[in-house]
């Protein structure tokens, strides 16, 4: 299970207080078996807070680096005697589980995410689309269409899972009818600006000529996202909520073109753009991007999708109480039937009215998974 942003903030605090609270950070990292070429690439200074942010930011690039960092923290004597060591060891075990899954499983086929409790049901087309999208350097815009409640926003959960295993991090801005290009730029700046320099995004509202200012803002975002250590995917969610006259539409087109131009120079280090809830009838992206786009259409899970989900989930982690052999297979088949029936009933009758259908389905499925794990 990947660490959350809040948990990475805690790791950064530990690194600053216990690992890099030293006048010689290079020697300290070498003492904890960080490779010399890795240490040499870090912008280390005499400021421990800046060094901690740089080390964590660079370590988040892939699972093995994350694992190495947290392993080192659990070996620091000053942390080992504090109550926080329990949390650090928990983080380490979660990252080890992620590393094992990365090695042993096809992560594009994973059906239960986040420490074995978060359901990701069906979306077989999305799984294969993402596999091709990641492998093709010429594809860098992913558009996800579908009816409201079909699970378009739920795509972001899977992107976080895949990113942990494929070396990128998705960052999301959720749009609304009141969204403006200036607000979106400021939100993206929180993700792409240099933490040590503070955020100073170009503000389109301060310029008289709107479209050129949006173009500059888009290039600023794409340039900063390309320059950061980690590979970023910029996710704009609920595009269908935008007002038809919103200047965010102009920004989306300009941002896609800016990424196109940065990708021509920086290749895979340039960010990728994911637009959730972006229908085929909405404003078209620039013509030059026609060869760089992948489409996926979300659809609500049906009973056969639920059956396949539970069959896979229950077989991948069979409950010890089910025994083995033919008895286990019969028991799993019966439990799958019960789980499907219960989820369909709960998703039809439970949950808040404001929740989409797929959210209710996933909530009910996660409850069934927890019951199964307790057997």
Quick one: pLDDT at residue 212? 56
The predicted pLDDT at position 353 comes to: 59
Helix then strand count (H, E) for the chain reads 15, 7
Give the pLDDT of residue 116. 66
**What is the C-alpha separation between 81 and 231, in angstroms, rounded?**
35
The pair of three-digit structure tokens given for residue 99, joined into one six-digit string: 């590393």
pLDDT at 208: 47
Tens digit of pLDDT at every position of the chain (375 positions): 678 888 999 999 999 999 999 999 999 999 998 999 899 888 899 899 999 999 998 888 778 889 999 999 999 999 999 999 999 999 999 888 878 776 767 888 888 887 667 889 988 889 999 999 999 988 999 999 988 888 888 899 899 889 888 889 999 999 999 999 999 999 999 888 765 554 455 554 454 445 458 889 999 999 999 988 788 999 999 999 999 999 999 999 999 999 999 998 888 889 999 999 998 889 999 999 999 999 999 988 899 999 999 999 988 888 777 767 677 788 888 999 999 999 998 888 766 556 778 888 999 999 999 888 888
Tokens of 106: 């096809």
Instruction: List CB contacts of 155: < 8 A, sequence separation 6 or more.
Output: 123, 126, 144, 274, 276, 296, 298
Q: Return the HEC string of 256-324.
A: HHHHHHHHHHHHHHCCEEEEECCCCCCCCCCHHHCCCEEEEEECCCCHHHHHHHHHHHHHHCCCHHHCC
Q: Where would I find the H helices in 105-207?
A: 124-135, 155-166, 181-192
Rounded-to-integer distance, Cα 241 and Cα 152, Å: 13
* Residue 251 pLDDT: 95
Quote the pTM value. Answer: 0.76
Backbone angles phi, psi at 351, to 5 degrees: 85, 160
**pLDDT the model gives residue 218:** 93
Handedness of CA 88, 91, 95, 100 (dihedral sign): positive
Q: What pLDDT score does 202 carry?
A: 52
Would you state the pLDDT for residue 74? 94
**Beta strands 231-237 and 168-174, pairing class:** parallel
Residue 56 tokens, joined: 């964590």
pLDDT at 195: 54
Please provide the size of the chain in residues: 375
Cα Rg of the chain, angstroms = 23
pLDDT value for 225: 93
Rounded to 10 degrees, what is the CA torsion of 40, 44, 45, 50? 180
């Amino acid at each position: 299970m990947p660490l959350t942003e809040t948990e990475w903030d805690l790791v950064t605090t530990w690194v600053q207080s216990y690992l890099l609270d030293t006048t010689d950070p290079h020697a300290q990292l070498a003492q904890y078996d960080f490779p010399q070429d890795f240490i040499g690439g870090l912008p280390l200074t005499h400021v421990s807070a800046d060094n901690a942010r740089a080390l964590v930011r660079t370590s988040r690039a892939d699972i093995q680096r994350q694992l190495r960092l947290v392993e080192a923290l659990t070996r620091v004597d000053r942390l080992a005697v504090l109550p926080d060591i329990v949390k650090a060891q928990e983080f380490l075990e979660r990252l080890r589980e992620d590393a094992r899954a990365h090695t042993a499983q096809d992560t594009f086929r994973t059906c239960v995410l986040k420490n074995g409790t978060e359901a990701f049901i069906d979306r077989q087309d999305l799984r294969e689309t993402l596999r091709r999208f990641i492998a093709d350097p010429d594809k860098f815009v992913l558009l996800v269409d579908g009816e409201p409640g079909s699970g378009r926003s739920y795509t972001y959960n899977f992107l976080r899972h895949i990113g942990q295993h494929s070396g990128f991090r998705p960052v999301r801005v959720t749009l609304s009818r009141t969204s403006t290009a200036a607000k979106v730029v400021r939100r993206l700046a929180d993700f792409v600006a240099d933490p040590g320099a503070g955020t100073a995004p170009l503000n389109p509202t301060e310029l008289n000529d709107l479209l050129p200012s949006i173009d500059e803002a888009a290039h600023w975002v794409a340039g900063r996202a390309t320059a950061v250590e980690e590979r970023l995917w910029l996710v704009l969610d609920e595009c269908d909520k935008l007002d038809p006259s919103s200047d965010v539409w102009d920004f989306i087109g300009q941002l896609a073109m800016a990424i196109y131009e940065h990708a021509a120079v920086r290749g895979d280090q340039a960010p990728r753009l994911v637009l959730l809830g972006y229908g085929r009838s909405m404003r078209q992206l620039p013509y030059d991007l026609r060869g760089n786009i992948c489409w996926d259409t979300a659809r609500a899970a049906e009973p056969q999708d639920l059956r396949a989900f539970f069959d896979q989930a229950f077989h991948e982690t069979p409950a010890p109480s089910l025994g083995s052999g033919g008895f286990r297979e019969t028991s799993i088949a019966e439990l799958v039937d019960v789980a499907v029936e219960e989820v369909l009933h709960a998703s039809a009758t439970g949950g808040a009215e404001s929740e989409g259908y797929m959210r209710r389905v996933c909530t009910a499925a996660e409850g069934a998974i927890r019951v199964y794990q307790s057997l």
